[in-house]
Structure 1
C-alpha cells in the first residue's frame, strides 16, 4: 500500500480524500509510470518536476 490507506482516516473523511487520491494517481499514470512506487522514486530524484507534472510550469 503506497498511500497507506489503512492508516489514514479515509473512512471518516470520505469521498473528498478518495477523489484527491484518484486525481494524483491519474496524473502519475499520464506521465507514463505503470507503478506508483516507480513515480515516487522518480519524483524523489527530481522534485522540481512536480510542477511540470501538474502542468503549472
Structure 2
C-alpha cells in the first residue's frame, strides 16, 4: 500500500457478492468482486490513471 497524500481522499469501495446457479437450480459457484464507487470521484482528477490490486 502507498500512503495517501493529505489533500486527496481515497475513493470508497465495496464488495459485490453473487451466486452462480446451474440449470437445475443448484449452486455452481460463489463470486465476489471488489468495486470502486466511481460516483465519489472528483471531476478531472486522476481520470486517466488505472489502479488495480
- Greater strand proportion: 2
- Greater helix proportion: 1
Larger-gyration structure (1/2) = 2
TM-score (norm: length of structure 1): 0.22
TM-score (norm: length of structure 2): 0.23
Q: Relative contact order (C-alpha < 8 Å, sep 6+): which is higher?
A: 2
